[in-house]
Structure 1
Amino acid sequence: MASNHTTAAPRKDPMLPSYLDDPALASVALVATDMDCTLLADDGTLPPDFNQLIASMENAGIVFCAASGRPCYTLREMFADHLDTIALMSDNGAAIAYRGEIIYKSLMEPKDVDELLGFTLEDGRGCPTVCSLDACYIRACDRVHDGYFRKFFSTIRYVDTLDGIDAEVNKYTVYFPERNAEEVFADAYRDAWGDRFHVTNAGREWIDVMNRGINKGSGIERLCEHLGIPTADAAAFGDTYNDIQMLEAAGHGFVVANAEEHMHAHANYLAPSNNDRGVSTVIEAMLAVRR
């Protein structure tokens, strides 16, 4: 059975060109960026000047999109001052909002969620969560990880059982506190579910499962179509597996310097690291060439 991790032929030159080598920065009309380890520093903070940068992008005719595995309600809180101008691609493309309105959502069948839950519980590794448009449902027995969960899910409903959750579910996610998600993905989830769903790692702590065809790349394509922007004029920033399709779909794919080297095969250019505020640096370069 096929993996959902996209692969590409290795580059002859292992070093990506710098973002400064992009000859068409002035043509960018959409900036979509991953959050954790990409836009956010390791301490979880946004760049200190980012509110002003969003306003500057709007003035320059560039649409900003937060593209994340995080849910829409969490992203709304993070960018509350800009909801009437920006786009939010949440749950790895399973829900897309623009100017405060949901323009696309892909909901999972309850029977599929229950089947995935049974698999996780039988496997015995990881903490299952059921992600809906309005809240994340987590077993009460996993509340011990609440401090970590709150970094991603601003609305959590702890329940005795995840069976038969009555909600608009658009993603099933498993948290691995031992940071072995990549190994468990390759050992169990890839072959069991890769033909029926889009299954991917979101770093070393998470395995995300969405409906087949749902990923950040298809999300970029849907958003560009809605905006009337060619994907060639979209810029994407990412660092890990669940960013691959987005980096490949956008005409300007930037991988941050802190990403593992295997991610270079899926991008066009190298941006500074998340802790060096690489996304802001590249956006400032885009704005500078427009002046």
Structure 2
Amino acid sequence: MYKAVVFFDLDGTLFDNDKRVTQASIKAIAQLKANHILPVIATGRSLFEITGTLEQSGIDSCVCADGSYIQVAGRALHTEYLKTSDVKAITAYAQQDNLPVSYYNPNGFVVSHTNKLVRENYRELKETVNVDAGAYLTTKMNMLFVFTPERDKQDDVYREKFHGTFSFYRNNFRGLDVVKYGVSKRSGIENLLNHTGLADVPTYGFGDFYNDLPMFDAVKTPIAMGNAVPEMKAKAAWVTTSNLQNGIVNGLKHYNLI
């Protein structure tokens, strides 16, 4: 039986700026497991994007794609797929402004069409871009990414237009993660805890960006990275050092988890 559960965001949190887990963090995760504490990755990324990270870090449980895919001990627990008709509707809406849409499932992704933003985004993520505008018609998808660079204007427009159908999370300055309405890191974490019988053990969460805010609502002890956005720091029980200054290790030590 696990004594506690610790959830880690990846980008800006468990990852350094080269998208790698440091040796110090890998050692800390091994110590967590030795102390009967369950480490879980909670990320906006999809499963196929983090398979190497899971192997490298020794973590085999995750809440991926903003809560729409859950895995425990290497086995899929739940995937929250989107309705094809809903995906078609938001694709058509995005196309009115010639905005690209990426379509994700746990195994991979495709893009409706490319532009400079698309190329920059996936170059940064070290992912190869494949174009297939109609993939969602024959393949189930659990997450989308709509390239909406005009943040203040477009975020509110999409949330109002598709309220009750989709939930939106600002992933980066280039666009929005899109999942089924009500799905979030919080719902994914709660689902995982309930299915594993761990809902009553102490829970901790490390995060840095806006899509981590729902995670902070789901854990008993939210910990913001030193490089986190102000909203995260305001909501945190404690602010550790940055992802480049052993923030994970220092946070775990602060709470005597290692």
TM-score, normalised to structure 2's length?
0.88
Matched, 1:275 2:247: no
Deviation, structure 1 residue 63: 0.9
Moved over 3 A (4+): 139-148, 150-157, 162-165, 179-183
Question: Please, which of 86, 101, 105 is the counterpart of residue 128 of structure 1?
Answer: 101
Letter in 2 for 1:36: D
Q: Partners of 1:229 and 1:164 in 2: how far apart?
A: 35
* 147 and 48 in structure 1: CA distance in 2 versus 1, 3 angstrom threshold: farther
- 8 Å CA contact 1:66, 1:75 repeated in 2: no
- Look up the SS of the partner of 2:190 in the other structure: helix
Deviation at 1:207, TM superposition (A): 0.3
- Give the match for residue 180 of structure 2: 211
Alignment match, 1:46: 21
Tell whether the 8 Å contact from 2:3 to 2:36 is kept in structure 1 after alignment: no
Name the structure 2 match of 1:117: 91
Is the contact made by 1:190 and 1:199 (CA closer than 8 Å) also made in structure 2? yes
Q: What is aligned with 2:222? A: 253
Q: Partners of 1:71 and 1:88 in 2: how far apart?
A: 10
Percent identity reads 21
For structure 2, the 5+ residue unaligned runs are none
What secondary structure sits across from 1:86 in the alignment?
coil
Q: 1:52, 1:118 → 2: CA distance?
A: 47
Number of positions where the alignment pairs a residue of Structure 1 with one of Structure 2: 257
Q: TM-score normalized by structure 1?
A: 0.79
1:217-270 C-alpha deviation (Å, 9 max, x unpaired) = 111111111222136611011122211111111001011121221223332221
Counterpart for residue 184 of structure 1 = 154
Show structure 1 runs of 5+ residues with no match.
1-26
| 2:121 corresponds to | 148
Is the 8 Å Cα contact of residues 217 and 246 (structure 1) preserved in structure 2?
yes
- Asked whether the equivalents of residues 210 and 229 of structure 2 are also in contact (C-alpha less than 8 Å), the reply is no
Give how far 1:277 is off. Answer: 2.7
Quick one: distance in 2 between partners of 1:196 and 1:145? 25
Report the RMSD for the aligned CA atoms in angstroms. 2.5
The answer to whether the 8 A contact 2:100-2:113 is kept is: no
Partner residue of 2:168? 199
Mark the CA change 1:290 to 1:142 in structure 2 (over 3 Å): closer, same or farther: closer
Deviation at 1:181, TM superposition (A): 3.4
After TM superposition, the structure 1 = structure 2 runs for residues 229-240 of structure 1, keeping only pairs within 5 Å, are 229-230=198-199, 233-240=202-209
- The structure 1 residue matched to 2:7, chosen from 20, 32, 43, is 32
Which has the higher relative contact order, 1 or 2, with Cα contacts under 8 A spaced 6 or more apart? Answer: 1
